[in-house]
C-alpha cells in the first residue's frame, strides 16, 4: 500500500512504497522524513552520499532461495578508521520481512534480525575480544572478527528504522564456516543480533541484471587530481574507496575524502622505491590487476632489522589483493573469511589443508607510497602470525593499539613485541561453548579486527611476464612457502624402485636355472685333465659353474675352458675348491657372463695339495639363466641413488626453509 505526502522541510512529494518502512530520505533536501500517527515528521538531514562504484541500486530486484526481494534504501556508515561502507536494505513480501545487504571491498553480506530463545543472552560488546567464539542456538560457533564503532553519515530511499544522522554505535562482526556471518548491533541494549552469510551476486539473483546494464553505466574508473603540497599530478584509481594517498613526488601523506585531498604531513626519509611502478597493470593468475599502493614493512629480531615489500593490487568491484615481495620471493595474497579458518596450537586449517606455524612477529610500516583503502600511517603495527603449507601461506593479522609515541622510532622498537604476541585465555560468555585451547594465534588485548590472507607462491618469472618487468632479482634462499622444486621426481623414482624390487623378487624366486651339464669325473693318479660331454649353450644367459669334491680334505684347483666346437673359440675360468674339515659336501660356485650360442665341450685340469687322489671324484654342474642376489642388490642400489639424492636434497631444502622460523626448535 503506497503512502504519499509532502516533505515537512521543503514540501517536495514523499512516497512510501513499502508498507512497513519507517523513514524515507527526501530526494530534494536530503531530510530524513518519518511517518508517525499519520503525519510526516522531519528527523534531521543527511550528508551527501559518497559515490561508490557499486553494482547495487535502489529498485533492483532479485531473489534468495526462491524468495523475491527489492532493494528499497541505503544507509552509508563510516568506520572509526575512516573507511566507508554501504548497507542496502532489502524488502521481502512488501516489507513483511527486512534484511540488510552490507557491501564492503567487493564482498556482500545478507543478514536478518535473529530473535534468540528467552533463556539466551548476548554478551555486552565491551566484553568481546577478537576471535572469541559465540555458540548461537541453531547456528553453531561463530568467531568475533571485528569490534568497533560506526557513524551514520548518509542515506537514500526507504529504511525500516529511524535513521539518525551523526549517530554513533558499537558493533561486533562474527564469521563462521561456509560463509556464515553475523553482526551484533549495539544501537540498542541489549545488542541486536543480525544473522546471515556472504552472498555472491549470482546467489542474489542480480548478476545478469548488473551485467546487462553495466556497459551503459560504466564510468571512468580513475580521477586526475593535484597534490595540494607540490602540485604534482595524481591519478586516483579507485577514488571512492581510497582513504590515504602518498605523493610519489614530494612524499606528502594526503587524506582522501571522495577524491578531495588534504595535506597531512611530509614523510621522513629514507625512500624505498617499488620494483613494480605504481599504476602498472598486468594479468596474474587469470585476473587483471593495477598496482595502486606500496608498503615497506619491518620487523626487528635480536636487534637486527628485516624488511619486505607489499604491493596493493586493485581490480574493479573485486576484493583488494596483495603481492608480497620478500627476499626476492613473491606471494599473491587474497583475503579469506576468518570463519573458515580453524586455529589450533601451532597449526591452522583452511579448506581441508593443514598449515604449520612459521613466523610470529609485530611488523611496522616504515615506507608507504600510493593509494590505500584505510588510513595507513608510518609506524602502524599489526600482530602477525604466518602458517605455511607450500605453496600456500596463511597469514593472520590483528590490529594493535597505537604506540604511545607514534612514528618511525617507535615503530622500529621491538620492546613490546613479546607482550603483543602473548597468549591470553578466552573469556566465557553465556552463549559460548567451551573456550578453545590457547594457540599461537590467540588475540592480543586491545585488538579490534582480525584478517586472514591466503597467499600462493608465484615464481619470479611469472611476475616479470605479468607486469612487464624483466630482470627482477632472483632469490638465493628458500622462501617460507616456496614449493619443493620438481616434486614429481620423487614419486616416479619410488615407483621405479618398487617395480624393480618386485621384478627382481619374481626373477629370484622363479628364474629358469636351466641345467646344461651335470657330470661326475673320476680322478686317476698321473692324469689330471678330463673332458666333458658336449652340451649346448643359449645366448645372452649367464652361466653358473658348480664344482664339488666329495670326501676330500685338501684344496683343489680346477682350471677350465669352454671350447666351441664350430668356431674354435675358448673361454677359460678357474675354480678353487676349499677343503671341508667338517665332512663331505664341499663345493665352489663360479659365475660367468653369457656366451655365444652353440655346442661346447668343457676341458678341466685339476691341481691339488695332496697327491693321493686315487678313487676321488670331481662333480661339475653347469646352469644357465641363474638369478644372482648380488647383481640384484647392485641394481637396486643404482636405481636408489637418484631417490636417495632426492631425499637428501629435500631434507636440506626443508632445513633451509625452517632455519629462520620462529618455531625452529
CATH of domain 220-267: 2.20.28
- Residue 332: pLDDT band (50, 70, 90) is very high
Quick check: 483 pLDDT over 80?
A: yes
Residue 585 pLDDT exceeds 50: yes
Q: Tell me, what's the pLDDT at 607?
A: 80
Contacts of 280 (CB under 8 A, 6+ apart): 290, 291, 467, 468, 469
Q: Residue 544 in contact with residue 630, Cβ under 8 Å?
A: no
pLDDT of amino acid 448: 78
pLDDT attached to residue 132: 86
User: What is the reported pLDDT for 259?
Assistant: 57
Query: Average of pLDDT values for 167-192?
Result: 86
Question: pLDDT-derived band of residue 88, with 50, 70 and 90 as boundaries?
Answer: very high
If you count DSSP H runs as helices and E runs as strands, how many of each does the chain have, helices first?
6, 41
The CA distances from residue 659 to 226, 477, 478, 649, in Å, are 48, 11, 10, 15
Q: What percent of the chain has pLDDT over 70?
A: 81
What string of DSSP letters covers 458-497? Answer: E-HHHHHHHHT--SPPPP-S--TTPPPSSGGGHHHHHHHH
Q: How far apart (Å, rounded) are the C-alpha atoms in residues 297 and 272?
A: 10
Q: What is the pLDDT of residue 114?
A: 85
Q: Is the sign of the CA dihedral 484, 489, 495, 496 positive or negative? A: negative
Residue whose C-alpha cell reads 532489502 in the numeric block: 90
Rounded distance between C-alpha atoms, residue 483 and residue 375, angstroms = 35
Query: Average pLDDT of 420-442?
Result: 35
Q: How confident is the model at residue 374 (pLDDT cuts 50, 70, 90)?
A: confident
pLDDT, greater one: 378 or 260:
378
| Assessment of whether the complete model's pTM goes beyond 0.75 | no
**CA dihedral for 620, 626, 632, 635, sign (positive or negative):** positive
The string of pLDDT tens digits covering residues 432-477 is 333 333 445 555 556 678 899 999 999 999 999 999 999 999 999 9
Q: Are 40 and 31 in contact (CB under 8 A)?
A: no
CA-CA-CA-CA dihedral for 493, 499, 500, 501, to nearest 10: 110
Among the residue ranges 26-30, 220-224, 597-601, 614-618, the one predicted with the least confidence is 220-224
Task: Report how far residue 118's alpha carbon sits from residue 121's, in angstroms, rounded to the nearest whole number.
Answer: 8
Pairing of strands 107-113, 133-136: unpaired
**By C-alpha distance, which of 199, 105, 190, 98 is closest to 146?**
105
User: Where is average pLDDT lowest: 214-223, 341-350, 465-474, 590-599?
Assistant: 214-223
Residue 534 has pLDDT above 90, yes or no: yes
pLDDT higher than 80, residue 420: no
Q: Which three cell numbers stand for residue 111?
A: 543478514
Task: Answer whether residue 421 shows pLDDT above 50.
Answer: no
Say if CB 156 and CB 189 are below 8 A apart: no
Where does the pLDDT of residue 412 fall: very low under 50, low under 70, confident under 90, or very high at 90 and above? very low
The answer to whether 294 and 274 are in contact (CB under 8 A) is yes
Position 217 pLDDT exceeds 70: no
Q: What's the pLDDT at 477?
A: 92
Strand, helix or coil for residue 123: coil
Confidence of residue 527 (pLDDT cuts 50, 70, 90): low
Strand ranges, E, within 275-315: 281-284, 287-301, 304-314
Fold classification of 514-626 is Jelly Rolls (2.60.120)
Cβ count near 630 (within 10 Å) = 8
Q: Retrieve residue 462's grid coordinates.
A: 611469472
Q: Which whole number is the average pLDDT over 316-329?
A: 91
Across 210-214, 410-414, 646-650, least confident range: 410-414
* Top-confidence range, 127-141, 185-199, 357-371: 357-371
pLDDT in tens, 537-582: 998 888 999 988 776 667 788 899 999 878 777 899 999 887 764 4
At residue 538's C-alpha, the angle toward residues 534 and 544, to 5°, is 75
Q: Where does CATH 2.20.28 sit in the chain?
A: 220-267
* DSSP secondary structure letter of residue 449: B
Q: How confident is the model at residue 416 (pLDDT cuts 50, 70, 90)?
A: very low
Q: Between 490-510 and 629-658, two packed helices, what is the crossing angle to 10 degrees?
A: 160
Name the range with the highest mean pLDDT among 322-331, 546-555, 568-577, 597-606.
322-331
How confident is the model at residue 581, as a pLDDT?
Answer: 47
Question: Mean of the pLDDT values across residues 589-599?
Answer: 89
Would you say how long the chain is, in residues?
665
Confidence (pLDDT) at 532? 93
Lowest mean pLDDT of 289-298, 321-330, 637-646, name the range: 637-646
Contact 44, 164 (CB under 8 A): yes
Report the DSSP beta bridge partners of residue 372: 244
Which pLDDT belongs to residue 212? Answer: 57
Q: Residue 50 — pLDDT band, cuts 50, 70, 90?
A: confident
**DSSP element (H, E) containing 318:** none
Selected residue with higher pLDDT from 416 and 641: 641
Q: Residue 277: what pLDDT?
A: 92
> Which is it for strands 31-36 and 23-25: parallel, antiparallel or unpaired?
antiparallel
N-to-C CA span, the chain = 70
Mean pLDDT of the chain: 80
CA angle, corner 619, sides to 550 and 547, nearest 5?
A: 90
pLDDT at site 430: 33
Grade residue 282 by pLDDT with cuts at 50, 70 and 90.
very high
Domain(s) of CATH 2.60.120.380: residues in the chain: 514-626
Q: Which residues contact 419 (CB under 8 A, 6 or more apart)?
A: none
The angle subtended at Cα 431 by Cα 427 and Cα 436, nearest 5°, is 45
Per-residue confidence band for 410, with pLDDT thresholds at 50, 70 and 90: very low
pLDDT class of 604 with cuts at 50, 70, 90: very high
Does residue 482 carry a pLDDT above 90? yes
Say whether pLDDT at 164 is over 90: no
pLDDT at 636 over 50: yes
Between 371 and 210, residue with greater pLDDT = 371
Burial of 242 (0-12, 13-18, 19+ CB in 10 A): buried
Amino acid at each position: 500500500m503506497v503512502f504519499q505526502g509532502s516533505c515537512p522541510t521543503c514540501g517536495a512529494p514523499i512516497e512510501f512504497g513499502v508498507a512497513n518502512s519507517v523513514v524515507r530520505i527526501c530526494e530534494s533536501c536530503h531530510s530524513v522524513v518519518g511517518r508517525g500517527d499519520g503525519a510526516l515528521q522531519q528527523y534531521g538531514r543527511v550528508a551527501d552520499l559518497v559515490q561508490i562504484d557499486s553494482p547495487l541500486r535502489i529498485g533492483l530486484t532479485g531473489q534468495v532461495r526462491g524468495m523475491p526481494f527489492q532493494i528499497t534504501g541505503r544507509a552509508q556508515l563510516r568506520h572509526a578508521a575512516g573507511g566507508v561502507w554501504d548497507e542496502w536494505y532489502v524488502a521481502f513480501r512488501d516489507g513483511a520481512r527486512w534484511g540488510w545487504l552490507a557491501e564492503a571491498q567487493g564482498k556482500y553480506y545478507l543478514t536478518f534480525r535473529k530473535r534468540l530463545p528467552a533463556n539466551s543472552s548476548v554478551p555486552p560488546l565491551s566484553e568481546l575480544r577478537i576471535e572469541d567464539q559465540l555458540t548461537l542456538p541453531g547456528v553453531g560457533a561463530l568467531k568475533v572478527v571485528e569490534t568497533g564503532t560506526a557513524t551514520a553519515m548518509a542515506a537514500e530511499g526507504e529504511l525500516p528504522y529511524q535513521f539518525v544522522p551523526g549517530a554513533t554505535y558499537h558493533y561486533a562482526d562474527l564469521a563462521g564456516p561456509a560463509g556464515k556471518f553475523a553482526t551484533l548491533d549495539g544501537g540498542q541494549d541489549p545488542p541486536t543480533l543480525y544473522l546471515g552469510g556472504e552472498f555472491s551476486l549470482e546467489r542474489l539473483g542480480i548478476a545478469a541484471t548488473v551485467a546487462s546494464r553495466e556497459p551503459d553505466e560504466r564510468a571512468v574508473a580513475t580521477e586526475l587530481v593535484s597534490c595540494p603540497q607540490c602540485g604534482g599530478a595524481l591519478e586516483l584509481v579507485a577514488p571512492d574507496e581510497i582513504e590515504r594517498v602518498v605523493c610519489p613526488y614530494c612524499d606528502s601523506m594526503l587524506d582522501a575524502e571522495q577524491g578531495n585531498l588534504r595535506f597531512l604531513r611530509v614523510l621522513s626519509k629514507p625512500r624505498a622505491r617499488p620494483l613494480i611502478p605504481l599504476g602498472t597493470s598486468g594479468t596474474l593468475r587469470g585476473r587483471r590487476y593495477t598496482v595502486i599502493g606500496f608498503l615497506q614493512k619491518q620487523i626487528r629480531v635480536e636487534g637486527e632489522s628485516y624488511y619486505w615489500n607489499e604491493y596493493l593490487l586493485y581490480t574493479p568491484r573485486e576484493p583488494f589483493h596483495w603481492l608480497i615481495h620478500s627476499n626476492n620471493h613473491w606471494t599473491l595474497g587474497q583475503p579469506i573469511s576468518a570463519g573458515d579458518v580453524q586455529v589450533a596450537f601451532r597449526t591452522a586449517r583452511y579448506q581441508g589443508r593443514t598449515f604449520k606455524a612459521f613466523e610470529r612477529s609485530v611488523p611496522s610500516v616504515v615506507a608507504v607510497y600510493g593509494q590505500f583503502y584505510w588510513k595507513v600511517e608510518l609506524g602502524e603495527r599489526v600482530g602477525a602470525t604466518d602458517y605455511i603449507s607450500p605453496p600456500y601461506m596463511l597469514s593472520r593479522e590483528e590490529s594493535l593499539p597505537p604506540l604511545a609515541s607514534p612514528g618511525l622510532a617507535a615503530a622500529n622498537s621491538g620492546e613490546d613485541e613479546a607482550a603483543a604476541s602473548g597468549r591470553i585465555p578466552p573469556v566465557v560468555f553465556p552463549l559460548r561453548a567451551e573456550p578453545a585451547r590457547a594457540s599461537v594465534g590467540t588475540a592480543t588485548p586491545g585488538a579490534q579486527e582480525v584478517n586472514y590472507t591466503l597467499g600462493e607462491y608465484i615464481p619470479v618469472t611469472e611476475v616479470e611476464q605479468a607486469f612487464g618487468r624483466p630482470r627482477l632479482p632472483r632469490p638465493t634462499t628458500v622462501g617460507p612457502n616456496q614449493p619443493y622444486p620438481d616434486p614429481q621426481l620423487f614419486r616416479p623414482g619410488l615407483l621405479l624402485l618398487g617395480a624393480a624390487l618386485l621384478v627382481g623378487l619374481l626373477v629370484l624366486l622363479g628364474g629358469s636355472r636351466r641345467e646344461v651339464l651335470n657330470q661326475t669325473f673320476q680322478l686317476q693318479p698321473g692324469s689330471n685333465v678330463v673332458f666333458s660331454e658336449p652340451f649346448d649353450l643359449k645366448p645372452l644367459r649367464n652361466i653358473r659353474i658348480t664344482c664339488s669334491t666329495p670326501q676330500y680334505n685338501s684344496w683343489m684347483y680346477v682350471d677350465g675352458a669352454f671350447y666351441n666346437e664350430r668356431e674354435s673359440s675358448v673361454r677359460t675360468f678357474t675354480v678353487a675348491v676349499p677343503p671341508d674339515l667338517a665332512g663331505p659336501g664341499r663345493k665352489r660356485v663360479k659365475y660367468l657372463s653369457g656366451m655365444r650360442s652353440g655346442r661346447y665341450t668343457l676341458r678341466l685340469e685339476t691341481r691339488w695339495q695332496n697327491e693321493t687322489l686315487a678313487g676321488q671324484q670331481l662333480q661339475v654342474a653347469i646352469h644357465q639363466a641363474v638369478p644372482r642376489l648380488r647383481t640384484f642388490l647392485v641394481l637396486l642400489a643404482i636405481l636408489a641413488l637418484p631417490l636417495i639424492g632426492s631425499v637428501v636434497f629435500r631434507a636440506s631444502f626443508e632445513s633451509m626453509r625452517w632455519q629462520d622460523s620462529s618455531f625452529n626448535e
